[in-house]
Structures are given as structure tokens and as C-alpha cells.
Amino acid sequence: MLSEIQHKKEDQYEISAEVKQVYELLLKDPKIIEGLNFIQSDNENTLNEQIEITEIPAPTFKEQERGEDYKRRLIELGLKNVQTDRVGNVYGIRPGTGNGPKLFVSAHLDTVFPEGTDVAVKRKDGRVYAPGISDDGRGLAVVLSLIRALDRANIQTVGDIIFGATVGEEGLGDLRGVKTFFQDHDDIDGFISIEPGDPSRNTYLATGSHRYSVTYKGPGGHSYGAFGVPSAIHALGRAIAKISDLHTPDDPKTTFTVGTIQGGTSVNTIAANATMVIDMRSTSQDELLKLEEKVLSIIDQAKEEENKRWNQDLITVDVQLVGKRPAGSQPADAPIVQAAMAASIALGFDAILGEPSSTDANVPISLGIPAVTLGGGGKFGGAHTLEEYFDPTDAFYGVQKIFLTILGLVGVDQVSDPILK
């Protein structure tokens, strides 16, 4: 199903002559074709590994057992310097010839599901069902299949490839794994994050988010006997009302929501405490910071207004940052994006510039390091629910697409120069 780059809806894409030439060279090389064919034949084995990994629980902050299993798998595949770092990321290196770029390719170990969730895989009508089977059991299995394909075809890359898995990608994990990795490595030239999804989509924009837990506190009291004492819930209500009236730009898309609230004791009690958790997002770091400044001002203003209403100074507010994912963008014609699109086209798929998303790629993009998030193939549904499923039909196309993207970026010895600088 390989297609010539120059004839696949060329007018829709910003693919340079240089990138086209790289993929023409790759698609003519017997070793590359052998690698692609191996990936197809490895489809069932990849699914079996996906199931085995998924059945090892890995809630965010409790990824150790899965991480140890994954480290063993990387060692068995022959990666060099396989290690578990200070937060639990697991990775090793497949060296290139020594004169090319360094690319990090990873999936994430953690799932959104709490400890004690039944993660046993069930098969039904050609699908496999289990919490986390797609997100990111698929990505973790794809990383292993990619290493096997490179080895089976005896492909020597120009650049080094670090293969591995990160912790803390989901929820309040706050991307702690990938943040730590890039704090500890200042020599990475590109990054690919593997998530569930089809081979046509290429995510290259990073939606940043700032999340706060806000708690108003007061003395509380009986609703009748202590009437006149300021209420923590009333202060919270004032803040929510003002936040809900904020206006944010459509482009860059910037959003906010108060996701949860809790507090109070009973219907006949003036609340002594009330808490909300607010989520703010944008693809623009500047707009995100502007929104954050407005929200923080409102939070303090609501405290002052509730105290002033009752001529007392009894309400206090505690504001805690509980999540900070950086925003970032890069041009649609960045070399790493071109490589991903060219790889999609080479396999006969349309190449789609995906909507902004929040993934491990946020961190390198925010640092100015080229990065994309790519789909590991197959169909999936019910992500982040107990009914999550994965359909492995033709799932190998996702692996093939990432395989070609990697080779285009790091170059193949005596075949093509690296696209990644």
C-alpha cells in the first residue's frame, strides 16, 4: 500500500522537496521494506504484549510494577543503558552511527484508573476490553514492536533513538515523567509520543493547562443563631459567578471550567469551608497566563466581598496549584510534522493536522524542541472508562507510520540523511 509522496493530495500539505526525497529513498530500500513487512507480521504478537502490559495495574503515582516489567522487556530487546530514573521513567538507547540527532520515542506507563480496578482483559467480537487497553497499553506495545522491527531488518540509523516509557502523564500526574526527563537531558533533538489513534492524524500543537484547588474557610455556625457570620460557600459562589462571566478568545482557543465543588456540613449550617477545582486551558502560554491572572484576582475579590457584606474579616482563602501543563506551538511545516505527514501518505493514508491536545509532547514543544504525538494504530473507544476497548484490525499501520517517521527523522546509514537537525 506504499504510495509515492509527490502524488498524494500534494496541495493539502506543506512537504518540502527535501522531505519528499528522503521518503522516496526510504521506500526503495529493501531493509525498510523488510521492516514494514515484519511489523505487519508482528501484529498479533504486539496485541498479546499490549494485553500483558495492560493487565499490570499502573495508576498514576503507582507505576512501579509495570515499570519494572517494561524495563525487563527493553533489556531483553537489547537496548543499551536501560535505566529507571529518579521518578520512574524507564528507557534505553539504540545507538546510531554517532553523527546524527537524538530522538526520544515513548508511551506512558500510567492509567487514569484507581488502585483496585479490575484490569483483566476480555475478548468479544474481535475487540479486547480492559481499562487502559488503548490509553496507553497500545502505545507501550508499539514501542516494543518498533524496536523489534529495526533489529529484524538490521537497520542502522544515523541518529540515536531513545525508546522508553514515562510516568505521570495522566491527570494530576501533571506530566511529571516527561518534565523530569527533559530537565535531566539537554541533548534531545526531537520527541515522539505514542497514544491511541489512527495513522492519519498528526498532533503538533500543545494545549496547556493550569489547575487550582481553591478553599474558602470561615468560622461557620448555626444558620439561624449565627446569622451574620460570613459563609465559605457564599464566598465560593461569588467567585464561581464572576469566573463564569469571563470572556476568552476563540483563537487561540482558551477555556475555563470549575470542575468540582464541595463543602458545607448541613442545610442549617453556615459553611465553614468550601472548595472548588478550576481548570484553565489554552494553546497560547500568554493567553493562559492572562486568564490565570484574572481568575486569581477574582478568587481574592470574592473573599473580600463576602467579608465586606457582613462587616467582618473572617473568611480566608487557600489557593493551591495542582496542575501545570505548558502550552506550545510549532509551525505546521516544521520538519518533524512534515516527516509524520509524509509517512502517513507513504502508507496510503490522508495526513491530517490534528487538533491541539494535552500529551507528553507538551513539554518539549514548550521548550522549542520538535515533537509530535502519533497514533499507534487500530480502533479504540471508551477511553478513560471501564468499557475501554481496542480493535486490532490492521493496527499494524499505526506502527508502520511511526516506524517511517522515525527513520525519516534520524536518517538511515548509507540510505538517507536525517530530516531532524
Report the predicted TM-score, pTM, of the whole model to 2 decimal places.
0.90
CA–chain centroid gap for 379, Å, is 18
CA–chain centroid gap for 32, Å, is 28
SS3 148: helix
- On the CB side of 237, CA atoms within 13 Å amount to 9
CA–chain centroid gap for 29, Å, is 33
Encoded amino acid at 227, one letter: F
**Residue labelled with grid coordinates 509524520:** 340
Encoded amino acid at 253, one letter: K
Q: What is the pLDDT of residue 172?
A: 87
Query: How large is the greatest C-alpha to C-alpha distance in the chain, in angstroms?
Result: 85
Please give the Cα distance from 58 to 119 (Å, whole number): 10
End-to-end Cα separation, the chain, in angstroms: 29
CATH 3.30.70.360 intervals, the chain: 208-325
Residue pLDDT tens, the chain, 421 long: 454 443 344 345 689 999 999 999 999 999 999 999 999 999 999 999 999 999 999 999 999 999 999 999 999 999 999 999 999 999 999 999 998 999 999 999 999 999 999 999 999 999 999 999 999 999 999 999 999 999 999 999 999 999 999 999 998 899 999 999 999 999 999 999 999 999 998 999 999 999 999 999 999 999 999 999 999 999 999 999 999 999 999 999 999 999 999 999 999 999 999 999 999 999 999 999 999 999 999 999 999 999 999 999 999 999 999 999 999 999 999 999 999 999 999 999 989 999 999 999 999 999 999 999 999 999 999 999 999 999 999 999 999 999 999 999 999 999 999 999 8
Q: What is the pLDDT of residue 10?
A: 39
Q: Which grid cell sits at 88?
A: 520512574
Rounded to 5°, angle at Cα 411 from 405 and 415: 115
Please give the Cα distance from 354 to 281 (Å, whole number): 17
Q: What is the pLDDT of residue 2?
A: 52
Q: What is the pLDDT of residue 6?
A: 39
Please give the Cα distance from 221 to 57 (Å, whole number): 45
Count CB-CB contacts under 10 A for residue 304. Answer: 14
180-193 residues labelled b (16+ CB within 10 A) or e (exposed): bbbeeeeebbbbbb
Residues present in the chain in total: 421
Q: What is the pLDDT of residue 13?
A: 61
CATH 3.40.630.10 intervals, the chain: 5-206+328-410
CATH architecture of 5-206+328-410: 3-Layer(aba) Sandwich (3.40)
CATH architecture of 208-325: 2-Layer Sandwich (3.30)
